[in-house]
């Protein structure tokens, strides 16, 4: 079982809705990540939080708004999404913060399946 | 440009058979290479992580190899099981970047 917990597992929302995806880890990891994955494609990095500070934002549209309330929690706030934003959203964490390549093992959550109508 | 290419894109084998998946990369400088298994609709699960000095690493029926000179890695699956059906993703990291391959979709049939 993964030690990174994501909720909800499935979310259906309209383009005018505001919703949030949540991620939690209790492994003492100092970096947390949001990835977006379309069907049959590899995960694409969206955001990285390192020591609770946003360290990487991969030119993600402002309708996606990340938040890291503390070192164990990571949220992704969603507003005015488009149907093409429908995807599997994966949260991950790693022991070390810092830059993408020197973080140690990445632990992924099960993902939140988002459908935008 | 840092890239990771995996082959084949998809593979179908019979239960009990062995198979080998390939990963070629141009990521430089090299920090580590990871293999992940991802079941459909689920998050990736780590199989192995290899650094520059490691040539071979095993995890049960999974054995990964790394040739840092030719920038190639392989994942060998022995005595395949139906539960091995999944996508296998190669991820290569440099100190400043992390690149995902497109994955190999493996189907094990009875």
- Categorize the per-residue pLDDT at B94 as very low, low, confident or very high, splitting at 50, 70 and 90: confident
Could you say which residues from 13 to 32 on chain B have a Cβ atom under 8 Å away from some Cβ of chain A?
31-32
- Categorize the per-residue pLDDT at B85 as very low, low, confident or very high, splitting at 50, 70 and 90: very high
**Cα A81 to Cα B31: distance, rounded to the nearest angstrom:** 36
**Cα A45 to Cα A67: distance, rounded to the nearest angstrom:** 16
Statement: residue B109 has pLDDT above 70:
yes
Question: Are the C-beta atoms of B36 and B88 separated by less than 8 Å?
Answer: yes
> How many degrees, rounded to 5, is the angle at CA A93 between CA A92 and CA A99?
105
DSSP A41: S
- Tokens 């790394």, residue? B66
> How many degrees, rounded to 5, is the angle at CA A23 between CA A22 and CA A24?
130
- Tell me the nearest-neighbour CA distance from B8 into chain A, angstroms: 14
Collapsing DSSP to helix, strand or coil, B97 comes out as: strand
Tell me the average pLDDT across A59-73: 93
Q: What is the CA radius of gyration of chain A?
A: 13
Nearest to B97 among A90, A100, A111 (CB): A100
Q: What is the pLDDT of residue A59?
A: 84
**Cα A1 to Cα A27: distance, rounded to the nearest angstrom:** 13
Mutation target vs B (from A10, A88, A101, A103; most B CBs, 10 A cutoff): A101
Tell me the average pLDDT across B70-87: 97
> How many degrees, rounded to 5, is the angle at CA B31 between CA B6 and CA A25?
90
Q: Which of A21-30, A31-40, A94-103, B40-49 has the lowest mean pLDDT?
A: A94-103
In the numeric block, which tokens belong to residue B54? 């490691």
């Amino acid at each position: 079982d993964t030690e990174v917990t994501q909720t909800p597992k499935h979310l259906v929302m309209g383009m005018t809705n505001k919703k949030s995806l949540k991620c939690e880890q209790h492994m003492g990891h100092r970096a947390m990540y949001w990835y977006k994955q379309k069907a049959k494609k590899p995960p694409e990095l969206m955001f990285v939080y390192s020591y609770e500070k946003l360290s990487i934002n991969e030119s993600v549209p402002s309708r996606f708004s990340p938040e890291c309330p503390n070192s164990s929690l990571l949220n992704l706030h969603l507003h005015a999404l488009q149907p093409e934003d429908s995807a599997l959203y994966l949260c991950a964490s790693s022991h070390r913060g810092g830059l993408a390549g020197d973080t140690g093992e990445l632990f992924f959550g099960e993902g939140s399946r988002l459908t935008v109508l | 440009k840092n890239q990771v290419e995996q082959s084949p894109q998809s593979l179908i084998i019979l239960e009990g058979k062995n198979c080998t998946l390939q990963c070629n990369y141009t990521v430089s400088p090299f920090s580590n290479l990871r293999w992940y298994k991802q079941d459909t609709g689920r998050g990736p699960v780590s199989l192995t992580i290899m650094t520059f000095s490691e040539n071979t690493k095993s995890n049960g029926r999974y054995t990964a190899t790394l040739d840092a000179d030719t920038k190639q890695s392989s994942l060998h699956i022995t005595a395949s099981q139906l539960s091995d059906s999944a996508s296998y993703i190669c991820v290569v990291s440099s100190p400043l970047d992390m690149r995902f391959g497109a994955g190999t979709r493996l189907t094990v049939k009875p």
